[in-house]
Amino acid sequence: MEPTVEFSIKSGAPQAGRNGCLVVGVFEPRKLSGAAASLDRAAKGYLSGVVHRGDMQGKLGTTLLLHSVPNVAAERVLLVGLGREAVFRDKQYREAVAAAIRALNASGAEEASLHLTELMVGRRDAAWKVAHAVTVARECAYRFTRMKSGSEEPEPALRRLTLSVNDRSALRRATAGLEQGLAVAHGMSLAKDLGNLPPNVCTPSYLADQARELAKHYRMKVQVLEREDMEKLGMGALLSVARGSAQPPKFITLEYRAGPKKAKPIALVGKGITFDTGGISLKPAAEMDEMKFDMCGAASVLGTLKAVGEMRLPVNVVGVIPTTENMPGGRATKPGDIVKSLSGQTVEILNTDAEGRLILCDALTYVERYQPAAVIDIATLTGACVIALGHVATGLFANDDALARELLNAGETAYDRAWHLPLWDDYQEQLKSNFADFANIGGRPAGAVTAACFLARFTNKYLWAHLDIAGIAWKSGKEKGATGRPVPLLTQFLIGRAGRK
């Protein structure tokens, strides 16, 4: 576990204890922010001197650590470059905070007073600035060391971080922001841990245990269906994916009901493929290890429920996780096999690597029983979505424009953005099958859309949105690891549904 920093909020002039650090911003070119200017007055022009000698131009993401600044009780002052004031918005704010945290962690400061939270960030209020500072700080501290036998890096000294707001009237809202930022960070941390765990540890049974754990902690109702239960129900699509695996599949439901008794729940359905080999339509070897992240949809459902539980958000939410491995084998599903889904519709499986939609479609039929106010599925569904949107935006599809709008807005607020893609019937033709009701693939063109169109055939009974997170759920290369997205988006959406901001 990474060492935890304790957060608090205050208003008033820059101040920090002896072994502390004051963190203030500098705009480009060489322009002190409000807090920096007030420190500069106390220090008789020491900071403006440093800046005008050219040692801190204010370029976004740069930092300069000063020691023993005259007339300042704290041992250190950290100058943080903010970039040009005219374009200082959400992204720049988060980058500046991240740079500050990294510099603090590299220093010997045990406590720090962060004044970047006083900056004007478009029209964002103090609660937003505090929430994002906390989440960013926790993200900078995240490490996944559980599978390493020794610790590699020394732990940062930082123990206390005070976030400063402009005036006393903002203290209450900022405290709510602090709680929210921490809850989101903890939800993201859980989602990251589950994603990063190796596929021989994070199996369907492991996810079921995690769900039980959450249920115990946050008073949720948990249910885990076994293979025989799924057979009895008729989940032929889901079970066809599990056929090649020695690990038993699980169908997990978690009910969190803290909203009005009669209020219909929001259902979150997460793809839980704990390893995707492609099955008989085997994937190439290169980077196949990354298919351990194919359960990041499921992880985001658990992470979001953790955040919601921690905030005691007054909403009703049902988390649903169909989970299995997708493996080749003597009993595995073959291209050409036809299976009957829980909905009664038959599917010709032309490619066993298009397995996510097969486990999701049965879950999407199953959730009808909750009479949900809306259903959102979250899935690392298509490589095509990565080609379309890269590693920036989630692909968003919906059968209702108001729901789509609500999710897009939540994504903007949470800085965890999605982009609306079409779900037009014109694309349905690509799923035609000569032998079953339809096929599980629609050819190369618009692969993310045809996958969504497949799911749309199972979601006529309720308002529904689909989030394709294939491009954003994890990073590859040197920084390989789960991102914890889209926990911020989902949590923000539920905060909105709870009538909070």
* Contacted entry of Zn ion, ligand BES, Mn ion, none for residue 486, CB cut-off 5 to 8 Å set by kind: none
Q: How far is the CB of 344 from Zn ion (least distance, A)?
A: 24
The count of residues interacting with Zn ion (CB under 5 A) is 4
Q: Is 325 in the site for Mn ion (CB under 5 A)?
A: no
Residue among 374 and 470 whose Cβ is closer to Mn ion:
470
Q: Is 276 in the site for Mn ion (CB under 5 A)?
A: yes
Residue nearest to Zn ion (CB): 276
Q: Which helix (DSSP H) or strand (DSSP E) does residue 448 occupy? A: helix 447-456
* Nearest Cα residue to 240 out of 354, 342, 358, 328: 358
Residue nearest to Mn ion (CB): 353
* Contacted entry of Zn ion, Mn ion, ligand BES, none for residue 470, CB cut-off 5 to 8 Å set by kind: ligand BES
Classify residue 200 by its DSSP letter.
T
Q: How far is the CB of 380 from ligand BES (least distance, A)?
A: 5
Residue among 303 and 356 whose Cβ is closer to Zn ion:
356
* Contacted entry of ligand BES, Mn ion, Zn ion, none for residue 382, CB cut-off 5 to 8 Å set by kind: ligand BES
Q: How far is the CB of 380 from Mn ion (least distance, A)?
A: 9
* Contacted entry of Zn ion, Mn ion, ligand BES, none for residue 431, CB cut-off 5 to 8 Å set by kind: none
* Nearest Cα residue to 463 out of 367, 357, 379, 376: 376
Q: Which helix (DSSP H) or strand (DSSP E) does residue 348 occupy? A: strand 346-348
- DSSP, collapsed to helix, strand or coil, labels residue 79 as strand
Q: How far is the CB of 378 from ligand BES (least distance, A)?
A: 13
Restricting to residues 430-489, name those near Mn ion by CB under 5 A. Answer: none
Q: Residue 306: how many CA atoms within 13 Å on its side-chain side?
A: 27
Of the candidates 28, 353, 406, 468, which one interacts with Mn ion according to CB under 5 A?
Answer: 353
Active site residue 172: no
d(CA 440, CA 29): 56
- Do 136 and 98 touch, CB atoms closer than 8 A? yes
Torsion angle of alpha carbons 60, 64, 69, 75, nearest 10°? 110
Query: What tokens appear for 458 in the block?
Result: 């199972």
d(CA 239, CA 227): 8
The catalytic residue among 76, 357, 457, 485 is 357
Q: How far is the CB of 231 from Mn ion (least distance, A)?
A: 23
Residue nearest to ligand BES (CB): 383
d(CA 285, CA 267): 35
Residue among 110 and 294 whose Cβ is closer to ligand BES:
294
Q: How far is the CB of 29 from Mn ion (least distance, A)?
A: 50
Q: Is 325 in the site for Zn ion (CB under 5 A)?
A: no
Q: Are strands 221-225 and 250-257 parallel, antiparallel or unpaired?
A: antiparallel
Q: How many CB atoms lie within 10 A of CB 266?
A: 24
> b vs e for 454-483, b when ≥16 Cβ sit within 10 Å of the residue's Cβ?
bbbbbbeebbbbbbbbbbbbbeeeeeebbb
Q: Is 294 in the site for Zn ion (CB under 5 A)?
A: yes
Residue among 139 and 355 whose Cβ is closer to Mn ion:
355
Q: How far is the CB of 391 from ligand BES (least distance, A)?
A: 10
Q: Is 40 in the site for Mn ion (CB under 5 A)?
A: no
Active site residue 357: yes
Residue among 81 and 279 whose Cβ is closer to Mn ion:
279
* Contacted entry of Mn ion, ligand BES, Zn ion, none for residue 248, CB cut-off 5 to 8 Å set by kind: none
Restricting to residues 265-284, name those near Zn ion by CB under 5 A. Answer: 273, 276
Q: How far is the CB of 191 from ligand BES (least distance, A)?
A: 16
* Nearest Cα residue to 460 out of 379, 376, 368, 342: 368
* Nearest Cα residue to 73 out of 35, 17, 133, 136: 17
Three-point CA angle 370, 371, 375, nearest 5°: 85
d(CA 311, CA 187): 11
- Do 441 and 350 touch, CB atoms closer than 8 A? yes
The catalytic residue among 143, 173, 283, 340 is 283
Chain residues in the site for ligand BES (CB under 6 A)? 276, 294, 351, 353-356, 380-384, 386, 441, 447, 470
Residues of this chain that bind Zn ion (CB under 5 A): 273, 276, 294, 356
Residues of this chain that bind Mn ion (CB under 5 A): 276, 353, 355
Active site residues: 283, 357
